[in-house]
Amino acid sequence: MDKYDQLELRCSRLGGEVKFSYCRKEGGDLPCLRIISCWYPFFPVEQYLRETMTEESWNAFVGQMPKDKIITLIELVEAAKKRVKIKDE
């Protein structure tokens, strides 16, 4: 058993207490998409996942993660700047 599996917190998606072991396998072979944002205050969860997952699993996991809202906003601003620059030329 992994050392963090018995830790519990309230899941904002499910509305109740869940153990870390559930979050690690919520997506079948992949962790829940929100595992890092939910568990980072309690232990270095990203480091733990990188160390315990295969490279292929890690890449599949991060490949399905939604972008952070700030990153998305920055990308939208940059795209708008490029459009304005093209119009001015």
Mapping DSSP to helix (H, G, I), strand (E, B) and coil, where does residue 5 land?
A: coil
pLDDT at 87: 66
Q: How far apart are CA 59 and CA 66, in angstroms?
A: 13
State the amino acid at position 6 in one-letter form. Q
Q: Are 4 and 16 in contact (CB under 8 A)?
A: no
State the pTM of this model.
Answer: 0.67
Nearest to 9 by CA among 44, 51, 37: 37
pLDDT at 23: 94
In order along its 89 residues, the chain shows pLDDT tens digits of 588 999 999 998 888 999 999 999 987 889 998 899 999 999 999 999 999 999 999 999 988 766 677 777 787 788 888 877 766 66
Where do the structural domains in the chain lie, given as residue ranges?
8-88
